[in-house]
Amino acid sequence: LYKSCDNGKSFECLSVLPFAPWRRSYCSMIFAADGVLHAYAYNGYSEKEMDHAISKDCGKTWELLDPCYLAKRIRNPQTAHIDGVYVLHGRGGNEGGFVLYTSEDLTNWDEGTILVDKTHAGAFYSNNINLSDENGNFLLINYSDTYDKSDPAANDPWCYKVNVMHINLRVKKNNC
């Protein structure tokens, strides 16, 4: 983890996250409401177990936690917070599709919802930004989706065209 104190003109190494270095990638970080920094990493050995570590000193030191269980798997995890709910989205691993999870504590995630089925080659790289309008807060999620195989005779799974898609996510809580 690197930090800059001069608006990105220079960087210094702050710490090394405690994740195993093999078959780990696609890291995501988010601050919880209590100021704890949560870091996650894709686990190429088990897509249902997302590596999880926390820092209580803004990333100087880390505590490795048990992996987070994700029923529909995850690749390229992206995290966000909107109206009291934590959101995790990304590719659904070998299961395919674009998946969304929610959590109240950044450790225990729900069973997940497939938002987009894998109909072609999987892309689903994504990101998000918190926005608001006259109807309140929403999370704008952008993701890549494949379409129109450019050469139907080719066996190359990456010969599809890619489009950027958008989802506006609003939170409605049950008052039960």
Is residue 93 helix, strand or coil? helix
pLDDT at residue 55, as a whole number: 98
Q: What is the pLDDT along the chain (176 residues), one digit of tens a residue?
A: 999 999 999 999 999 999 998 999 899 999 999 999 999 999 999 999 999 999 999 999 999 999 999 999 998 999 999 999 999 999 887 767 889 999 999 999 999 999 888 765 566 788 999 999 999 999 999 988 877 766 666 666 667 777 888 999 998 877 66
Quickly list DSSP for 61-81. Answer: S-EEEEEEE-TT--EEEEEEE
- CA torsion sign for 74, 60, 80, 70 is positive
pLDDT at residue 122, as a whole number: 61
What's phi and psi for 43, nearest 5 deg? -110, 105
CB under 8 Å to 153, separation ≥6 — which residues? none
pLDDT at residue 153, as a whole number: 66
Task: Decide: pTM greater than 0.85.
Answer: yes
